[in-house]
Amino acid sequence: MKPSTLRNAIGPGLLMAGAAVGVSHLVQSTRAGAEYGLALLGLVLLGCALKYPFLEFGPRYAAATGEHMIRGYRRLGKWPLGLFAFLTLATMFIVLASVTIVTAGLAGALLGLDVPIAWLAFFVLSTCALILTVGNYRGLDFLMKIIMAVLSLATLFAVALAAGQRPEWSNLWPSLSESQLLSGAGLAFALALLGWMPIPLDAAAWHSLWTLERARETGSRPSVAHASADFRIGYIGAVVLAVAFMLLGALVMHGGNQEPASSAVGFSTQLIAMYTDAMGAWARPLIAFAALATMLSTTLAVADAYPRALRAFLELGDPCPETQQHKHRSRYLAGMLLTMFGAWLIIALVGRHFTLLIDFTTTVAFLTAPVIAWLNLKLLTGPHTPPEARPGPLLYWTAQAGLVFLALFSIVWIGWRISTF
């Protein structure tokens, strides 16, 4: 392979960011700002900081070993691999359904379509299937870079204008009693928000797969330093946009009479209106397109990640999978059709219960996070990772603190649920 360069390494981090800037940002962050002002800002930043090591371990492991994390889980033993496989199979349909239903809602709001959400979702999934089948990784990588640039500029511009129109910020920082965060509903929302903020920990394995695919495309496997730098670019961008969406929700909707809608189309219409209120009516087509493109990028990334993960599981038993390209591609396409059909079926059956679906999905992600975090830490500090690539003291102790944080919040949530029965 060619020598590693940072330019060749750039790509997987933006795919991760594209997958992150979706439901957690457009829906959950905006709802957090609208309903609770900036009361959850510190918790979101803390959660993102403590999740950082476990997500960074994905590209680190791929760059250091030349293999994805799913193969690494198998090296840990049958039960870690089986556990991750179970978590993947248990969540893949509902996660793809969650991001698709928001994309479909935005498409309906943008195009003015008064049709059932299931038909809009079918159109979105069909479009994603066509793009992934024709463009494969190279097309996905190129498209994501353009979309992320457009959305970042539009979002930061909208926040700046909204801030200028609201000179009084004191009521954006309510006390705990005023914010109702200590209530059952407030606690449930906070945990759901953390579940996908900025992205579920499953994405570490996805990122390792994308890192290896990028290496295959460029003919250059990145160094650990370059892979980590690519990750940081995408991760910091995702966190900044999470804060921006929370600010936008707080500045435009908090303290007003407008409540977040419970349907995908209704909430999407509100989201576009928030940008329009901040920037002016002239910006509506641009913002609507940027928001739709963002959610489409998220749906594309998720629709690509799960088939890659399924294929990785299937190829664990192949002695030399890189020599079986026809089977390699067929497995990917079969996995894509399977996950898309399962996601569409969920939307068709429960798509009207939009906020319940989103909260359930993000809560599941939060409750499974400690398990995935522990697996990632065990893999990166064990003998299967070269010593020079293992996390240093700062990253290691941040991971330990993050593991305690995720476990404690999961215990709190379980205790709260038991007490409500």
CATH number at residue 275: 1.20.1740.10
Segment 131-139 shows an average pLDDT of 75
Instruction: Report if residue 133 sits inside a domain.
Output: yes
Is 75's pLDDT higher than 90? yes
**Cis peptide preceding 198, ω within 30 of 0:** yes
Nearest 10 degrees: Cα torsion 28, 32, 38, 42? -50
Which stretch of 114-128, 131-145, 298-312 has the lowest confidence by average pLDDT? 131-145
Note the pLDDT of residue 322.
Answer: 54
Return d(Cα 147, Cα 145) in angstroms, integer. Answer: 6
Structural domain of 260: 6-420
Give the best-scoring range by mean pLDDT among 57-61, 166-170, 311-315: 57-61
Instruction: Report if residue 372 sits inside a domain.
Output: yes
Note the pLDDT of residue 400.
Answer: 95
Is 92's pLDDT higher than 60? yes
Is 103's pLDDT higher than 70? yes
Instruction: Report if residue 10 sits inside a domain.
Output: yes
Instruction: Report if residue 157 sits inside a domain.
Output: yes
Instruction: Report if residue 337 sits inside a domain.
Output: yes
> How high is the mean pLDDT of the chain?
81
Amino acid occupying residue 314: L
Instruction: Report if residue 1 sits inside a domain.
Output: no
Is 326's pLDDT higher than 70? no
Q: pTM of the prediction? A: 0.86
Could you give the number of structural domains in the chain?
1
Return d(Cα 227, Cα 141) in angstroms, integer. Answer: 15
Return d(Cα 388, Cα 113) in angstroms, integer. Answer: 55
385-389 contacts, C-beta under 8 A, 24 or more apart: 385/61, 385/64, 385/65, 385/72, 386/64, 386/65, 388/64, 388/224, 389/60, 389/61, 389/63, 389/64, 389/65, 389/224
Note the pLDDT of residue 63.
Answer: 93
Nearest 10 degrees: Cα torsion 190, 192, 196, 201? 100
Note the pLDDT of residue 415.
Answer: 74
Query: Going by C-beta distance under 8 Å and a sequence separation of 6 or more, which residues neighbour residue 404?
Result: none
Note the pLDDT of residue 275.
Answer: 66
| Residue given tokens 């965060």 in the structure block | 181
Residue-wise pLDDT tens digits, 203-241: 899 999 999 988 888 888 888 999 999 999 989 988 998
| Residue pair 44/195 in contact by the 8 Å Cβ criterion | no
CA atoms within 13 A on the CB side of 311: 25
Return d(Cα 204, Cα 113) in angstroms, integer. Answer: 37
Task: For 409, list phi and psi in degrees, rounded to 5.
Answer: -65, -35
Query: Going by C-beta distance under 8 Å and a sequence separation of 6 or more, which residues neighbour residue 216?
Result: none
Instruction: Report if residue 400 sits inside a domain.
Output: yes
The DSSP H or E segment spanning 377 is helix 354-380
Residue-wise pLDDT tens digits, 48-60: 999 999 999 999 9
Nearest 10 degrees: Cα torsion 277, 278, 280, 284? -70
Return d(Cα 272, Cα 288) in angstroms, integer. Answer: 6
Instruction: Report if residue 191 sits inside a domain.
Output: yes
Return d(Cα 419, Cα 421) in angstroms, integer. Answer: 6
Is 157's pLDDT higher than 90? no
Return d(Cα 364, Cα 166) in angstroms, integer. Answer: 36
**pLDDT band at 352, cuts 50/70/90?**
low
Nearest to 239 by CA among 36, 19, 8, 20: 20
Amino acid occupying residue 299: T
